[in-house]
Structure 1
Amino acid sequence: MNAFAEAFAWIGDPSHWSGPDGIPTRLAEHLAYTGLTVVIAILIAVTLGLYIGHTGRFRGASIGATSALRALPTLGLLTYLAIAFGFGIRLALIPTIIVLVVLAIPPLLAGAYSGIESVDPRTVDAARSMGMTEWQILWKVEIPLALPLIIGGVRSAVLQVVATATVAAYISLGGLGRYIIDALPVRDYTKVLVGALLVTLLALVLEGILISIQRLTVPAGVRAIRTSPPLRRVRATGQNASAASRAT
């Protein structure tokens, strides 16, 4: 417990909340890496996932590709790309973002195509029978119904990127991982714990925000369907009870 007390005391020290190594600066850097990574990964993976889910093409290949991407060693890939691009601050950002994008693609891709595939085919057929084009079916029918699962993929990707973005400090970039990488050689374990706690707290905050967004994206009609069976059972029970009382 002393280690945690010292870590929280370090976080609460006003001197650690200013300057280039202050908590706000490192937090902003970490969020910048995460945001840039997730946006790039969404443009790649969600677009591909929507196509796969709507057409059914390349599903087997995408599953194999995402499994292969999950198996890649993050730190090893980062080191290889850093050697290829160089370790300068400007050049180091390129391999870092590439590695984090590779990490974020599998959950985003899986969430997108599984969300589209989860839409009832009868709903899609009804939309076609109304004369809607494939593009209209995708944007007006499938995506709204699949949005909770798509947001679930985003949520998983964000959490993985937030946790792994600490490796950016390994090649001289910033972020919350700076506390861990800088403190390990000098055995400043309080600062290492500070870095771990800050990353954990950031992940929990983002998790809570994305869970709320995921719940809000559930269509009102779907929420009504989910809640209606219990209501029908309650009404049926009440009706049965009333009938029994009249019979007696």
Structure 2
Amino acid sequence: MKVAGKVAVVTGGGGGIGGALAARLVRDGARVVVADLNAEAAQTVVDAIVADHPGSAVAVGADVSDTAQIRQLIERAESEFAPVDLYFANAGVTGPPGLDVDDAAWEQAFDVNLRAHIRAAKLLVPGWLDRGEGYFVSTASAAGLLTQLGSATYSVTKHAAVGFAEWLSVTYGDRGVRVSCVCPMGVNTALLFSGEQSGSTLGSLGTRAVTSAGAVLEPDDVAEIVLAGVEEERFLILPHPEVLELYRHKGADYDRWLHGMRRYQRSLLAES
């Protein structure tokens, strides 16, 4: 899909990948609603965008774990611009490391990393089916394909996000609804370094596992790769191409892959 002339919503747009996506979408001719739990961060992103592209973006403070607030985002896009053509479900949380995580942290991870995608799709897909076109972009993670050392909440909910995106594509792909699932490894954002700053050995392990596994990309580079994938209407968008080879190894011999992950974990712990 060409994004020029389209209307997009980007959640988690107050910085990182989301902020870069919003800026890139506007440069490519789209109009964008930038949503973030931090309304000031969303407004800062929009101020920078509209300085060069007046009237092309608006900021909304929103908690995308809440269906009513997702509906308000969609309605704001319609009132400011036109019906939503692309929805970037980009907001995400990590969650505490380890198994000793309370139910509230699990609920938050499921709400933001998975249920927010489901709730948005429920609101958008019927209209897309009527119009014969729409695009849902899920920001998951390489952790959704390969597992994240340290954080169970992150790994499990990102696996679920990949599964939901697959289901959405299978179910509605022949009826005009396009779906992409973005699965990067390390990206230079606050989310990447949250484990390192958690004060936990497992949290620090999680950050080092990602930063030592491959290049840490800048959000602008990821945004460029994502929009190239959207233009080509590719389902799996891998800013780190090596993830595909790792995923193939996992599928080819699951037990060998698990042994390798445990060995990698031991090596990181030995460095602590």
Query: Same fold by TM (over 0.5)?
Result: no
Higher CA-based Rg: 1
TM-score (norm 1): 0.26
Q: Which of the pair has the greater relative contact order for Cα pairs under 8 Å at 6+ separation?
A: 1
More strand by share: 2
